Amino acid sequence: MNSNIANKVVVVTGASSGLGESAARHLSSRGAKVVLAARRKDRIDALAGDLGGERMALAVETDVTDRGQVQRLVDVAVETFGRVDVMLNNAGLMQQSPLEKLKVGEWDNMIDVNIKGVLYGIAAVLPQMQRQKSGHIINVSSVAGHKVTPAGVVYCATKHAVRAISEGLRSEVKPYNLRTTIISPGAVDTELPSHITDPESAGAIQGYYQSVAIRPDSFARAVAFAIEQPEDVDINEILFRPTQQEL
Ligand SMILES: NC(=O)c1ccc[n+]([C@@H]2O[C@H](COP(=O)([O-])OP(=O)(O)OC[C@H]3O[C@@H](n4cnc5c(N)ncnc54)[C@H](OP(=O)(O)O)[C@@H]3O)[C@@H](O)[C@H]2O)c1
């Protein structure tokens, strides 16, 4: 068990499936106390049970598009475990479609979850970490935060925004001894493509994922790598892809 993960209090948004669930399981297996956030309460309750219940894992129903709920999530984590060492802003939504389809409601959803959700996570945890004079904020971007693809324009824009926000955050939090990490995965096998409503985009992405996507534990290990470094080492960015992924 690595001492720089064991006993850390880690808040994970989007813990009900995919990357967030995998990271929560992995960090818990390394001795972290995990606070699980998502809207699907039944899923995070079951996961908290799997991870040892109240002493080691807590499920807090949270919609990251609601600032008050995200603040409550962090407040409950502090009330229960006394501190927050890591905030993993992972919750996200991908709804690909060409701009000309004018799926403006889906643009709004992605902006609300992927950008505002991350900002609300930062807003909720930053004062606590400033008081602690320690902490680590990990924001999940994507290969889509490095490239812009047809039919992925708004998703890519949100993931570029996550990188811009994270780099700005990194440069501002030095006086408080905080670490910041951007993790940008390539195609990983999760529920992410299942939210695409445009049939052509859904078919293309699902086919692509079936041919190249790797397992979510790839992400979990990247998160653990960033956290387990000595406190004076700040891993600012990790970009990883399936070996088979060209894009
Ligand atoms: N899988 C990939 O290939 C890949 C690649 C690059 C980046 N990413 C990023 O990785 C992150 C995790 O995605 P995933 O691949 O694990 O997909 P996923 O299986 O669909 O998981 C998405 C998670 O986000 C949560 N979520 C969505 N909207 C939410 C909201 N309004 N409030 C709270 N939670 C919300 C979902 O929980 P509820 O529905 O229960 O609320 C779920 O736990 C996302 O930011 C995604 O953009 C994924």
Rg of the chain on CA atoms, in Å: 17
Position 66 scores a pLDDT of 98
Mutation probe of ligand 1 site: the residue of 39, 88, 240 with most atoms within 8 A of C-beta = 39
Res. 213: pLDDT tops 50 = yes
Position 98 scores a pLDDT of 98
Position 140 scores a pLDDT of 99
The question of whether 155 is a catalytic residue gets the answer: yes
Position 35 scores a pLDDT of 98
Confidence grade of residue 52 (pLDDT, cut at 50, 70, 90): very high
Position 184 scores a pLDDT of 98
Placement of tokens 């219940």 in the chain: 53
Q: Is residue 1 in some structural domain? A: no
Q: Into how many domains does the chain fold?
A: 1
Position 97 scores a pLDDT of 98
Q: Is residue 3 in some structural domain? A: no
For ligand 1, atom 2, name the residue with the nearest CA. 188
pLDDT tens figures, 179-208: 999 999 999 999 999 999 999 999 999 999
Position 53 scores a pLDDT of 85
95 lines ligand 1 (CB under 6 A): no
Which amino acid is residue 111, in one-letter code? I
Position 145 scores a pLDDT of 98
Position 3 scores a pLDDT of 76
Number of the ligand 1 atom closest to the C-alpha atom of 63: 32
Position 90 scores a pLDDT of 98
What is the phi/psi pair of residue 244, to 5°?
-80, -10
What distance in Å separates the CA atoms of residue 28 and residue 4, rounded to the nearest whole number?
13
Report the DSSP pairing between strands 86-89 and 135-140.
parallel
- Cβ-based neighbours of 240, under 8 Å, separated by 6 or more: 184, 185, 186, 218, 222
What range defines the domain where residue 190 resides? 9-240
Helix count and strand count (H, E) for the chain = 8, 7
The answer to whether 96 and 201 are in contact (CB under 8 A) is: yes
- Cβ-based neighbours of 190, under 8 Å, separated by 6 or more: 17, 18, 19, 216
Cα 142 to Cα 26, 29, 184: the distances in Å are: 20, 25, 4
Confidence grade of residue 54 (pLDDT, cut at 50, 70, 90): confident
Number of the ligand 1 atom closest to the C-alpha atom of 62: 33
Q: Is residue 35 in some structural domain? A: yes
Bridge partners of 89, per DSSP, are: 139
Confidence grade of residue 1 (pLDDT, cut at 50, 70, 90): very low
What is the phi/psi pair of residue 125, to 5°?
-100, -20
The mean pLDDT of 125-142, rounded to a whole number, is 98
Q: Is residue 19 in some structural domain? A: yes
CATH of the domain at 130: 3.40.50.720
Which amino acid is residue 159, in one-letter code? K
